[in-house]
Chains A and B, each alone.
Chain A
Amino acid sequence: MTLTAHHVVLPVALPLLVAFLLPLVGRLSDGLARLLAQLTTLAVAVIALLLWPAASDGGALVSAMGGFAAPIGIVFYADKLALMFVVALAVGLLLFRPRREHDSTKVQTLWLLLLAGGSGLVLSGDLFNIFVFYEITAVATYGLGASAHTGAGYGASLRYLLLSALGSAFALLGIALVYAAAGTLNLADLSQLAGERLTGPMGLTAFVLMVLGFGVKAELFPVNTWVPEVYTAAPTRVTAVLAGVVSKLAMVVILRLLVLLFQDPAALGFLLLLGAIGVAAGELAAFRSRDLHRTFAYSSIAQLGLMAVAFSIPGHAGVLAGIAVALHHLVVKPAFFVLADRWRGEIAGLTGAGRTSPLAAGLFVLLSLSIIGIPPLPGFWAKLMLFKAAIDAGGAGNLTAVAIILAATVIEAAYLFRVVGILYGTAPAGRPPLRFTLGELAPGLLLGAVLIAATVSVAPLGDGLTAMAADSADAAAYASRVLPGGN
């Protein structure tokens, strides 16, 4: 079956449609609703994969909504980067799908809204459209954050909502500034006008406002205070998807803004600063945390900081490093949260837990080694690419960032090895052993297997990513594909 550019809307339209049908189907049968939702998610993954060959041939698939061509109409732009994240989101949502015992129809509905919003976020080529999809994603995550039905869940979700709504207002203000300055919201159109209309204090203000807005979901400093609260209070399935995939989608939006609109040294420097602070603050806070959920939440902030540092390096080397860090974190962090789900409570109380479930402890060691960056695991290559890009680009800012990341890596190694030491310690007598059921551990093991497979096939993977990064960093190609008549 061959799919054309018109099918690019399906990853958004299909889950949106089913999401609104689901409460009705759920009245007939919860099982049927669950099946329908999961089939839809699977269909989105398959559609994105089927679009892949066409997207690699022409560079990208562009679809104009309602036949109104850009720059007047709204376009969807599906390049390999966008399709990859759509697949990652769909697979992540399938892997951590709601189980039978929860109020599954409601959660499944939010799950589909998250899929629709997230896909739209990376596919849309219109600034305001991206804002709308960002809000859909956000509203779905507010509900999911509270879906544990605990006081802490409601509180964390409310505080997250307030911060995120504040961020959205900032982002909207930024979008208003861009529109006031350039008179268009189409990203391709804006990329051609950016050089003359979006420079100087006005452009920088718009960029800062939008980064603060979209940065809420991308866990950027200083708008990431919700992260430890929500990730601790939400069900672990939700946390795994939020930390693993959804944060990256917001980061992709920031990447698009940078590449297409703001190749301005001041804007890049601002993102570099936020990223470096995020890395340092995240790892230090992770070191001080006393339970695994918080540790991984703070470590997630640090990893997103790494991505911000990478994207702030001009040229495709930085984009490549950022995508590599993102993909690596996308595999590793959900697996970490799978382990944290059973290993709740204070870390000190986990003494000897590794001896009763060696497979889980082995997985923890593998993930830790990779996230620290021990060769030949993929985490090493991601960090190496980041260092190489930063050092090649030079400049005091980039080199300081490298120094901060190196110091943060040492801290990271210290707290992860501390946990490993506790896991393999001698358990105090008389305590019931802590074991994983195979079903609980399965998603983590699967992700661990993906990590090992990536280690083996690191060369072809690197080539593919390099091509993808070079294409994503090419603003002129983006504009010429969306506006065939222009230029």
Chain B
Amino acid sequence: MTMDAEMLGKALYAGAVCLVLLGLYGMVVPRNLMRIVLGLVLLESGVNLFLVAAGFRADAAAPILTAPFTAQAAGPLVDPVPQALVLTAIVIGVGVLALGLALVVRVKEAYGTLDTHAVANRMARETGADPAVTAAGARTPGALPVAAGRTAEDAP
């Protein structure tokens, strides 16, 4: 029994480390934004598993109060704090994932590609050029947007 419990604890940690490494690989190596987002999901799962494993005790019960409190003194409980933290982290992760996927859709709509290099090139072209260029479609050196509206008192 104790041997199994020890093995289970180690397996949890090993699984967490594997998931984190897989997630890191998925975020660094692929060039497709969608795959990178999926790498993030794996990474977060790994971190969450690590947190749960930190509070794990094989010989303890789930930290749920089913009977009057005195009855609980009979046996140890699994630490509930990491579980509460992971619950919060999962909710945050889902929210961030949804927002990230929404942005992936917007990037695809704007540039028609999910390749990181292509997106970076398009972004550089868009922000490197001054607004007059994108408006006119042709590059006119020194062309700058004209100030609209009321001019400041500091104009000579």
| 12 extra A-B contacts, CB within 8 A, seeds A138-B96, A161-B96, A436-B151 | A158-B104, A161-B100, A161-B103, A175-B85, A179-B81, A290-B128, A344-B131, A350-B144, A359-B153, A360-B152, A437-B151, A439-B150
A153 shortest CB reach to chain B, Å = 9
Within 8 A of B (CB), among A333-388: 342, 344-346, 348-351, 355-360
Are B107 and A158 in touch, CB under 8 angstroms?
A: yes
Interfacial residues of chain B within 79-96, with CB under 8 A of chain A in the complex: 81-82, 85, 88-89, 92, 95-96
Q: Is the CB of A155 within 8 A of B123?
A: yes
Within 8 A of B (CB), among A432-473: 432-441
- A176-B54, A435-B147 known; A344 and B130 CB under 8 Å? yes
**Does A35 belong to the interface (CB within 8 Å)?**
no
CB distance from B108 to the nearest CB of A (A): 9
Per the 8 Å Cβ criterion, residues 413-440 of A in contact with B are 428, 431-440
Of the four ranges (under 10, 10 to 19, 20 to 34, 35 or more), the interface on chain A belongs to 35 or more
Q: Within residues 117 to 156 of chain B, which ones have a CB less than 8 A from any CB in chain A?
A: 119-120, 122-123, 126-132, 141-147, 149-156
- Check B123–A139 contact: CB distance below 8 A: no
Chain-B contact segment, one of A164-172, A274-282, A389-397: A164-172
Report Cα–Cα, A346/B127, bound state, in Å: 11
Contact in complex: B123, A436 (CB < 8 Å): no
Contact in complex: A358, B156 (CB < 8 Å): yes
Cα distance A360–B155 when bound, in Å?
Answer: 10
Which residues of A are found within 8 Å of B43, using beta-carbon distances? Answer: 166, 169
Q: Does A52 contact B (CB under 8 A)?
A: no
| Neighbouring A residues of B33 by C-beta, 8 Å | 158
The answer on a CB contact under 8 Å between A135 and B96 is yes
Cβ of B129: which chain A residues have Cβ within 8 Å of it?
345
The listed residue with most A CB atoms (<10 A of its CB), out of B20, B103, B155, is: B103
* Cα–Cα, bound, A402→B69 (Å): 60
| Contact across chains for A139 and B88 when beta carbons are under 8 A apart | no
Tell me the minimal C-beta distance from B79 to chain A in angstroms: 8
Q: Is the CB of A162 within 8 A of B40?
A: yes
Cross-chain contact B96 with A152 (CB below 8 angstroms): no
Within the complex, what minimum Cβ distance (angstroms) separates A185 from chain B?
8
Residue of A nearest to B155 (CB): A435
Q: Let me know if B89 and A428 touch, CB within 8 A.
A: no
Q: Which of B2-10, B44-52, B60-68, B70-78 makes up part of the contact surface?
A: B44-52
The closest CB in chain A to the CB of B149 belongs to A437
Q: Which residue numbers of B lie inside 8 Å of A, CB to CB?
A: 20, 23, 27, 33, 36-37, 40, 43-44, 47, 50-51, 54, 81-82, 85, 88-89, 92, 95-96, 99-100, 103-104, 106-107, 110-111, 119-120, 122-123, 126-132, 141-147, 149-156
Query: Is chain A's binding surface mostly helix, strand, loop or mixed?
Result: helix
Which of A142-150, A250-258, A265-273 forms contacts with chain B? A142-150
Once A151-B122, A154-B103, A356-B155 are accepted as A-B contacts, the answer to whether A345 and B147 lie under 8 Å apart by CB is no
- Docked Cα-Cα span, A132 to B95, in Å, equals 12
Q: Which of A's residues lie within 8 Å of B, judged by CB?
A: 128, 132, 135, 138-139, 142-143, 146, 150-152, 154-158, 161-162, 165-166, 168-169, 172-173, 175-176, 179-180, 185, 229, 232-233, 290-291, 293, 342, 344-346, 348-351, 355-360, 428, 431-441
Q: List 20 contacting pairs A-B, 8 Å CB cutoff, sorted by A.
A: A128-B85, A139-B99, A142-B96, A151-B107, A151-B122, A151-B123, A154-B107, A155-B111, A157-B103, A166-B43, A169-B40, A169-B44, A172-B47, A233-B127, A290-B128, A344-B144, A344-B145, A349-B143, A356-B155, A431-B144
**Smallest CB separation, B12 vs chain A (Å):** 12
CB < 8 Å: which of A128, A150, A180 contacts B110? A150
Contact of A232 among B51, B103, B127 (CB under 8 A): B127
Contacts of B145 in A (CB 8 A): 344-345, 434
> Measured between C-beta atoms, what is the minimum distance from B94 to chain A in Å?
12
B100 contacts A162, CB within 8 Å?
yes
Instruction: Report A-chain residues with C-beta under 8 Å of the C-beta of B47.
Output: 169, 172-173, 176
- The answer to whether B122 and A155 touch across the interface, beta carbons within 8 angstroms, is yes
CA distance in complex: A345, B82 (Å) = 50
Taking the closest CB of chain A, its distance from the CB of B156, in whole angstroms, is 7
CA distance A360 to B153 in the complex (A): 11
Rounded to whole angstroms, the CA-CA distance of A176 and B149 in the bound complex is: 55
CB nearest to A145 among chain B residues = B103
Contact A357 B154 (CB under 8 A): yes
- With both chains docked as a complex, state the minimum distance between the C-beta of B121 and any C-beta of chain A, in angstroms: 10
Given contacts A165-B100, A169-B44, contact A152 B127 (CB under 8 A): yes
User: 10 smallest A-B Cβ distances: which pairs?
Assistant: A345-B130, A151-B110, A359-B154, A158-B103, A154-B106, A152-B126, A180-B54, A435-B147, A435-B151, A232-B127
Report B118 CB to chain A, min CB distance, Å: 10
A128, A155, A166, A436: which contacts B27 (Cβ < 8 A)? A166
A441, B152: Cβ atoms closer than 8 Å = yes
Q: A132-B88, A151-B111 are in contact. Are A360 and B154 (CB under 8 A)?
A: yes
B87 to A: closest C-beta gap in Å: 11
